Structure 1
Amino acid sequence: MSDAARLLRLLSLLQTPREWPGSELAARLEVTPRTVRRDIDRLRDLGYPVEATMGVLGGYRLVAGKAMPPLLLDDEEAVAIAVGLRTAARQPVAGIAEASLRALAKLQQVLPPRLARRVSSLTGATSSSADSFATLVDPVQLTVIAGAAVGCERVRFAYVTNEAAVSRRHVEPVQLVALGRRWYLLAFDLERNDWRIFRLDRISDALATGARFAPRVPPGGDAAEYVKQKMYDSAPTYRARATLQLPVEVARARLADFAGDLEAVDAGSCSWHSTEDTIEYLAFRLTLLGCEFTVHEPPALVEHLRGLGERITRSVG
């Protein structure tokens, strides 16, 4: 075993959360205790905080330090992390969404093909729960664009517009933003010479070109705030008003974060006011409540629910 291979093997052992007696490490690595001590010193020089305790029960262990050192992962750990990150990409978690994509981009870059196939098989065999309402986005597109944004690399992709037309785009990606139930990309469109916001679920065939660009400052200095303002200013808004045949506390618990404005009418019913960007989502929330309800407005929601009810009746009839 070469010195480098032995050092990596030692680091892998120390990442197990336990203390390792020097004699046991020497036996596993098939070297002398003196060599183990020398290798421990090398790891410390590289920034790994290896702590030594004396005595019969003493030994070496890796502890938390001031900086994050590189970690070694075995096959099972790498697959587990990749699957977890790809799941997070489909259902972004507030505060860690972009970081998870950057981590996934780095991991997929070095993942051996045999492990990449395992990750694809596992993620392909899983599905989101019924409570998941986030727009589904291809994790491959996410990781390509996330990696390009981090590396300041231009990207080409196909994009479906609001009018269902497909166009080719050549952009400098600046930042991915998770907003509401969707992912967005803020980028500078090279052909239009202006900033553009793209929905990730409408992007396909993303390809990093290898051409680098100088980092751009997003409008206003804050990409997330810019996307939020633009999306909320341009999105259609539907204000729903309905009476729910549920006690107000039960309705609040079932609606959770999407409770809107609830007010008790009597002991068994309440009024509900909510604002959303799609009629379909308003209908989705109402039909999941498991109670009788009366929609007062908007008319578009009434018509949508009526058509939905007729389709369901025909389906079961």
Structure 2
Amino acid sequence: MNKAQRLLHILMTMQAHRKFNLKELTEEFGVSKRTILRDLQELSELGVPLYSELGVHGGYQLLRDRMLPPIHFSDKEAVALFLVAESLKGYPMLPFEAEVESALKKFYHYSPPSTKEKIEKLRSHVLFHVQERGLDTPYLTSLLEASLEGRIVTITYEAEKGTSERDIQPIGVYTASGLWYCPAYCFRSREPRLFRADRITALKIVEDQSRRIDPPGYDLRDWFTGRPSGETAELVIHLTRAGAVRAKSDPLLAEGLTVHADGRGCVRRAAAISDLSCLADTLLGYGAKAEVEAPALLREMLLQRVNEIRELYAGAGG
């Protein structure tokens, strides 16, 4: 039995017996006490949660509910997992980023040479490009954990109109166009709102959780499939052919998009008034490829942004 096989069998023994001593392991695997100690040290460095007790009845113990049993992957399954991992590499920040990196290193370390060769070849032929934003999201994992636990958190948020502090109950996190977003119920506005994760500059858990909202079955998918909350307006946007192609992959415009036979498109749906500012910022990047018919408030927001840009460049030219 080689070292890799022995480490795997030791791990399986720990899963089965929970508690063991060095004598039991040396007898079972036919190696010296020093070799077993080195093996246990290596397993510990790989993240196996070992606990040791001294004394006559002491020994080693695997902490309960902290370790998954060994899982065997086929060659194609292993390559597929690394393909998924490559798709995430373009994001400068990920939830549980350190844990993801650690897991991939362990997985790669124990992969056979043939699998490693395929993985390296894959890296040379597949690239998932994510738009680089250069924005930090230090509270991304905290937002995700709060959504999983249904906890209310207090955040400091930097918006266009200034910095504010508010209590929110995160629904989850998602990424689009290189940015991370956190849909959440906002106790200040008393409705669900969308927050940019990079604009959250401080976060802490609220001690009093009595206001927690726990609608049954509500999750992040409902954010995209459910109807907007709060005051809404009819959204009508006409798109050129190029604009329609772009809108198909735009999370803010894909919903309600109809593409005509000539390639031009039209977005027609209900939109929350609170989302119009974000829509205006997005549509500004479309230029003449998109024309807003309704609501009038969104047209005014776009005109205001265009005038601000015109004044900026007119002043620079003067």
**TM-score surpassing 0.5?**
no
TM-score between the two structures when normalised by the length of structure 1: 0.43
TM-score between the two structures when normalised by the length of structure 2: 0.43
